């Protein structure tokens, strides 16, 4: 599959880049995508939730009423979960929600996501560019020249560019990552996938 290389001004360079078929043209695996996205979102959770159980509540351990003769159930400490202000039964504890996925499955999921974008013709290859200084206005200008100003976009760079990253940071619908940080969630979450010319080869090498 060949895609035209476009300048950041929106003009055609006259060159074309071939997207490797074994990355952008495989048979997509939806279950692999589901597992990879599930793991990505699970890893984002802080897992710092905590509630106090009866052993952690501050209060007296005096028996609050006699054992028999009250006509109600026997009760000991005021910290019992059955009383208002008592501890919570089986409350949440800090935990890690992340889980392991095999490298081959993660690779299959990412290639499947890239294939879907290529099939939907949502992949745009840009000539490598950089900004002299971080300017959000310049990054917005690039998106507008590609008619993507109102769309959710993901720009994948071959190498890290601080100025490009900082220029996009304030835009809620734009995200900039490097090829080695490519993940299934970001690819599927974007309406348009922008690949810098140098990132295409790096993505191909990444999934060999």
| Same structural domain, 38 and 119 | yes
Which of 27, 62, 91 terminates a domain? The answer is 91
Min mean pLDDT across 4-13, 108-117, 136-145, 163-172 is at: 4-13
User: How far apart (Å, rounded) are the C-alpha atoms in residues 103 and 11?
Assistant: 38
> What confidence tier does 92 reach under pLDDT thresholds 50, 70, 90?
very high
Q: What is the pLDDT of residue 53?
A: 93
Range of the structural domain that residue 62 is part of? 51-91
The tokens of 192 are what?
Answer: 């348009």
* 173 and 82 co-located in one domain: no
Q: Looking at the structure, do residues 165 and 180 belong to the same domain, yes or no?
A: yes
Domain ends where: 38, 69, 91?
A: 91
108 and 183 assigned to the same domain = yes
Angstrom distance (rounded) from CA 99 to CA 170: 31
Total count of domains within the chain: 2
Residues 146, 105 within the same domain: yes
Nearest to 122 by CA among 181, 169, 189, 180: 189
Chain position carrying tokens 């997509």 = 28
C-alpha 88/C-alpha 12 separation (Å) is 64
The pLDDT tens digits for 112-144 are: 999 999 999 999 999 988 888 999 999 999 999
**Where is the domain boundary, 91, 106, 122?**
91
Instruction: Kindly list the strands in the beta sheet with 153-157, ordered across the sheet, starting from the edge strand earlier in the chain.
Output: 12-18, 2-6, 123-126, 192-196, 153-157, 174-178
CATH code (residue 111): 3.40.1370.10
- Is 119 in the same domain as 160? yes
């Amino acid at each position: 599959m060949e895609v035209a290389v476009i300048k950041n001004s929106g003009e055609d360079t006259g060159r074309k880049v071939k997207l490797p078929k074994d990355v952008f043209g495989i048979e997509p695996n939806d279950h692999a995508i589901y597992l990879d996205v599930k793991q990505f979102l699970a890893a984002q959770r802080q897992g710092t939730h905590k509630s106090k159980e009866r052993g952690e509540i501050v209060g007296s351990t005096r028996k609050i009423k006699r054992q028999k003769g009250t006509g109600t159930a026997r009760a000991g400490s005021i910290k019992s979960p059955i009383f208002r202000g008592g501890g919570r039964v089986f409350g949440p504890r800090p935990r890690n929600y992340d889980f392991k996925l095999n490298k081959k499955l993660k690779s299959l999921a990412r290639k499947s996501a890239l294939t879907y974008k290529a099939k939907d013709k949502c992949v745009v290859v840009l000539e490598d560019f950089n900004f002299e200084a971080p300017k959000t206005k310049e990054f917005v200008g690039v998106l507008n020249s590609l008619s993507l100003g109102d769309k959710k976009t993901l720009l994948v760079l071959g190498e890290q560019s601080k100025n490009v990253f900082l220029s996009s940071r304030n835009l809620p619908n734009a995200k900039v990552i490097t090829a080695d940080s490519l993940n299934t969630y970001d690819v599927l979450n974007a309406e348009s996938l922008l690949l810098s010319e140098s990132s295409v080869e790096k993505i191909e090498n990444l999934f060999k």
